[in-house]
Amino acid sequence: MGWLRRIVDAGQAEHQPIAALADALFLDVHDRRRKRSAFWALLTLSAVIAAGGIIGNSTATVVGAMIIAPLGTPIYGLALGVVIGARRQLFAALRLLVAASAVAIAIGALCSAVVPSRLPVELNPQITGRTSATVLDLVVALATGTAGAFGLTRRDIAPVLPGVAIAISLVPPLATVGYTAGGGHWQLAAGALLLFGANVIAIVIAGTVVFATAGYAEEAVEHDAHAHHYALAAVAIAVMLLLVPLGLNSTQLIAHERWLRETNAAVRGWLAGSEWRLESTDVAGDTIALRMRGNGEPPPVEKLRAQLDGKIPRAVRVRVEMQYGKDLILDWR
């Protein structure tokens, strides 16, 4: 970890003192009313903006919600509390994170009840992109969480923090949880909640490593060793629990990619010599949707069945949509 210490240690002039860092991350010290009012105002606005961007399928709007989202404060507060063994601040940050998450989910659920959706849930990329977290999402969150913690420890690179806020997905997954749960799409809601949990754990781990490397444990006036060890154990358990569904999702994603490759190759062979072409191939759950366009009579679907036989599991359903005046949907398997 010597390389990380060399990066974090920028000299006394640029090092953020622990008093200033604790004042920024712990909302229960010093001017609590001012801090908390600002936090809840920003959180509410961020959740409303995120929900609106998700419903309207607007990436720019969702990015705006990421920029003003204040959830990084209690999460990095957890990391600092782990490092310095501050039991009271640890529980205060955890309570604030749970309460803020519940509010963001509730706002998403409320929006699902009162705002009409422009797209079906399963076709909205703002939703589908946040409901299938994998191990890769955890790795990316670790990198962005490290950058954020790095920016907090050094005053000379604090301007990177807005970019980190965009890279870390916090409020949008919570708004997705509320919106999908409000519509009864419980599996999608669970997937979005998993993404949020992976980001939280990754930020706590990255923040703990960076803050410890920066020497904040030694700078702390009081250090509760028991709280420090218990918190580390809790983080380790959370990581192990998260790795199971993340690993399963990653395995499923790899399988889906393989099925898509096999299906595309089979369809090209099936359409060879005809006036039809493949427009898109998508995987949704256990269904592969093929969209085709052309003229004249399409090739016999039995030939496609023969091409795919043995290449994809029989439990996977293939749906063929052929456009020639009207859609012809052939479901088989």
Q: How many CA atoms lie within 13 A of 149 on its CB side?
A: 33
The verdict on residue 238 lying in a domain is no
Calculate mean pLDDT across residues 162-186: 81
The verdict on residue 98 lying in a domain is yes
- 283 and 153 assigned to the same domain: no
Length of the chain: 333
The confidence score (pLDDT) of residue 220 equals 66
Does residue 62 register a pLDDT over 70? yes
Which range of 108-122, 192-206, 301-315 scores highest in mean pLDDT? It is 192-206
The domain of 196 spans 2-223
- 152 and 267 assigned to the same domain: no
- 149 and 274 assigned to the same domain: no
Q: How far is CA 224 from CA 15, 61, 81, 210, 246, in A?
A: 24, 43, 10, 19, 33
Q: Report the sign of the C-alpha dihedral through residues 20, 21, 24, 29, in that order.
A: negative
Calculate mean pLDDT across residues 105-121: 85
* Span 25-38, pLDDT tens digits: 888 877 888 889 99
Does residue 323 register a pLDDT over 70? no
- 117 and 33 assigned to the same domain: yes
Q: How far is CA 251 from CA 11, 84, 130, 243, in A?
A: 45, 38, 17, 12
Read off φ and ψ for residue 115, nearest 5 degrees. -110, 125
- 193 and 108 assigned to the same domain: yes
The verdict on residue 6 lying in a domain is yes
Tell me how far apart the alpha carbons of residues 174 and 24 are, in angstroms, rounded to a whole number. 24
Calculate mean pLDDT across residues 312-333: 61
The verdict on residue 9 lying in a domain is yes
* DSSP letter, residue 292: E
Burial of 52 (0-12, 13-18, 19+ CB in 10 A): middle
Read off φ and ψ for residue 85, nearest 5 degrees. 65, 40
More confident residue, 226 or 128: 128
Burial of 89 (0-12, 13-18, 19+ CB in 10 A): buried
Give the pLDDT band (50/70/90) at residue 102. very high
Write out the two tokens for 168.
């870390």
Q: How many degrees, rounded to 5, is the angle at CA 109 between CA 108 and CA 110?
A: 90
- 300 and 154 assigned to the same domain: no
- 31 and 132 assigned to the same domain: yes
- 270 and 140 assigned to the same domain: no
* Span 227-245, pLDDT tens digits: 667 777 877 888 888 888 8
* Span 240-270, pLDDT tens digits: 888 888 888 778 778 778 878 888 888 888 8
The confidence score (pLDDT) of residue 109 equals 93
The confidence score (pLDDT) of residue 328 equals 46
- 300 and 151 assigned to the same domain: no
- 319 and 172 assigned to the same domain: no
- 35 and 165 assigned to the same domain: yes
More confident residue, 220 or 142: 142
The confidence score (pLDDT) of residue 44 equals 93
The verdict on residue 54 lying in a domain is yes
Domain boundary among 204, 223, 242: 223
Domain boundary among 223, 241, 263: 223
Domain count, the chain: 2
Domain boundary among 179, 207, 223: 223
The confidence score (pLDDT) of residue 175 equals 92
The confidence score (pLDDT) of residue 224 equals 64
The verdict on residue 116 lying in a domain is yes
Tell me how far apart the alpha carbons of residues 36 and 268 are, in angstroms, rounded to a whole number. 59
The confidence score (pLDDT) of residue 325 equals 46
The confidence score (pLDDT) of residue 327 equals 47
The verdict on residue 7 lying in a domain is yes
- 114 and 33 assigned to the same domain: yes
The verdict on residue 230 lying in a domain is no
